[in-house]
Amino acid sequence: MSGFWKRTALALTLATLALPAQANDYPSKSITIMPLLAAGTGLDIAVRLYGEELSKSLGKPVVIENKPGAAGLAGVAALKAAPADGYTMIVATSAVMAIRTTLLKEKTYDAQKDFIPIALYVKSPFILVVNPALPIHSVPELIKYVKERPGQLSYSSSGVGGAPHLSGEYMKKRFGLDLAHVPYRNSPQSISDVAAGHVAMAFAEAGASLPLIKEGKLRALAVSSSTRLPSVPDLPPFSEAANAPDFETVSWHVLLAPAGTPKDVVDKLHGEMVRIMVMPAIRQKIADLGLIPIEVASVEAMQRYIAAENDKWGVLVRQLGLEGSQ
């Protein structure tokens, strides 16, 4: 073989190796999913449930590698640097995909252009809780009680700009309430001070608040999702309790691939996640974690939802004067 043909053959071989993954031979090796949250939480357990099922159906290991550093930005940077071939993905929260996009001073990513949603698979609602010593047993009673005492009551959260904080501000603006915000360094502190009576109320994470609710140390008024929480089916959605049909403030979690991932690979991953999401056993396990399994949506529908959530929370962040504050 002449030197020319050898060079041509080598070039063709290298070009073939450089081609992106195709669905008919994907996956040919292990897949890494990086949740942008700490290991051991209910949401982390949910990622691992889906990862285990994906591994079974795809026939290759699915490695879960937690990347909670820098409030999730370390994982975002890792995904942006990874090849767009379907072998590296992240699980991002609504905080990363719809809130911090406006909060951040330095925009290091574009939530709507840098990623492709594979599956928006779970919602983590908050529970509106009050100190049980207060004469409040429903959302209408809460609204009336606060309006009769402007500026006298407060609500807690796990920090400025987080979803529990913005949920409280969303309620304030929606119903014209004068409530002070008391930020804490973490969720357990925030909730325990409501139980102790130092703060009147909070939008609390379900997993952290349910034990205190069962012990009678907190009184639950409503869940912040538009549907009931399977683990507390008697607790009404805020939208129903307050007669506000479009009221919903939840954290949601989405499996993302890098932009540019081949469509057939995206379609294959999405199809497998759709199959897993409707499995009764998986839906029950998700409900047992205090989460809400989401109904299946197309890639295009997920992109529209993420864009709408950016608009919704971006407006509120700007109204609060928090744009570029982090």
Read off the pLDDT of residues 256-303 as tens digits, 9 standing for 90 and up.
999 999 999 999 999 999 999 999 999 999 998 889 998 889 999 999
**Looking at residue 26, what is its pLDDT?**
96
Q: Give this prediction's pTM.
A: 0.87
Assess if residue 246 is contained within a domain: no
Note every long-range contact of 211-220, with CB atoms under 8 Å and residues 24 or more positions apart, other chains counting.
212/129, 213/127, 213/129, 216/132, 217/132, 218/129, 218/130, 218/131, 218/132, 218/191, 218/194, 219/129, 219/130, 219/131, 219/132, 219/134, 219/136, 219/137, 220/127, 220/128, 220/129
CA distances from 217 to 98, 187, 227 (A): 33, 16, 25
Give per-residue pLDDT as tens, 162-182. 999 999 999 999 999 999 999
My answer on whether 95 and 147 are in the same domain is no
pLDDT at position 70, please?
83
Return the residue matching tokens 């469509």. Answer: 263
324 domain-assigned: no
Same domain, 89 and 179: no
> In the predicted model, what is the mean pLDDT of residues 220-230?
94
The CATH number given to whatever domain includes residue 293 is 3.40.190.150
The residue from 212, 241, 270 where one domain ends is: 241
Both 89 and 192 in one domain: the answer is: no
Question: Is the pLDDT at 10 greater than 90, yes or no?
Answer: no
Going by pLDDT thresholds of 50, 70 and 90, the confidence category of residue 23 is low
CB 117 within 8 A of CB 275: no
Section 235-242 average pLDDT: 95
Asked if the structure places residue 68 within a domain, the reply is yes
Asked whether residue 266 is domain-assigned, the answer is yes
One domain for residues 234 and 285: no
Residues 90, 199 within the same domain: no
Is pLDDT of 90 > 80? yes
Query: What is the rounded average pLDDT for all residues in the chain?
Result: 91
| Same domain membership, residue 151 and residue 104 | no
Residue 25 lies in a domain: yes
**Burial environment of residue 37 by CB neighbours within 10 A (0 to 12, 13 to 18, 19 or more):** buried
Residue 79 lies in a domain: yes
The answer as to whether 325 is a domain residue is no
Indicate if 10 and 117 belong to the same structural domain.
Answer: yes
Give me the domain span that covers residue 144. Answer: 125-241
Domain count, the chain: 2
Choosing from 241, 264, 279, the residue where a domain stops is 241
Q: 186, 218, 241: which is the final residue of a domain?
A: 241
pLDDT at residue number 16: 45
- pLDDT single digits (tens) 41-70: 888 999 999 999 999 999 999 999 999 888
Task: Give CA–CA dist 309/97, Å, rounded.
Answer: 9
Residues 117 and 28 in one domain: yes
**Any domain includes 326:** no
CATH of the domain at 175: 3.40.190.10
Q: Which pLDDT value is given to residue 71?
A: 81
Claim to verify: residue 110 and residue 134 sit in the same structural domain: no
